[in-house]
């Protein structure tokens, strides 16, 4: 439901005399509580002081970018070692990893 339709419907709902709150509005119209507060305030509905917590939306948190995720590898055989991608072949009896770094691997067309 678009904003205009939602607010028109809310006007009718308010006229019925139902108990209106930010929470009930959000649940009825499937919006978050910040949007519910904004809509009710725009309609001129008298909100209690406890509803002021929904008056200002918190700042958005930045998403992880590919650059920040570059050091994480999903495959269990690849690990980051000293800031370089390392193909893990196994561990020694002392627990040290052994294998080879990607920049040390020979090209595919070059036989070992």
Q: In what order do the strands lie in the sheet with 84-91?
A: 78-81, 84-91, 97-101
- Domain span at 49: 3-54
Model pTM above 0.75: no
* 81 is a domain residue: yes
The gap from C-alpha 1 to its chain's centroid, in whole angstroms, comes to 24
| Range of weakest confidence among 26-35, 40-49, 101-110 | 101-110
Q: Which residue has the tokens 């006007």?
A: 11
Residues 45 and 7 in one domain: yes
CA angle 26/37/2 to nearest 5° reads: 60
Give the tens place of pLDDT for each residue, 38-85.
999 999 999 999 999 999 999 988 876 655 555 555 567 788 888 888
* 59 is a domain residue: no
Closest by CA to 78, choosing from 91, 69, 89, is: 89
* 48 is a domain residue: yes
Residues 50 and 83 in one domain: no
* CB-CB contact of 50 with 64 (8 Å): no
Question: Per the structure, how many domains does the chain have?
Answer: 2
* 109 is a domain residue: no
């Amino acid at each position: 439901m678009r904003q205009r339709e939602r607010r028109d419907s809310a006007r009718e709902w308010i006229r019925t005399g139902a108990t209106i709150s930010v929470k009930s509005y959000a649940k009825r119209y499937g919006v978050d509580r910040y949007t519910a507060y904004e809509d009710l305030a725009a309609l001129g509905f008298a909100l209690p002081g406890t509803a002021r917590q929904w008056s200002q939306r918190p700042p958005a948190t930045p998403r992880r970018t590919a650059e920040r995720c570059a050091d994480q590898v999903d495959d269990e055989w690849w690990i980051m070692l000293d800031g370089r991608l390392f193909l893990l072949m196994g561990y020694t009896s002392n627990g040290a990893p052994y294998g080879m770094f990607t920049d040390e691997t020979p090209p595919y067309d070059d036989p070992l």
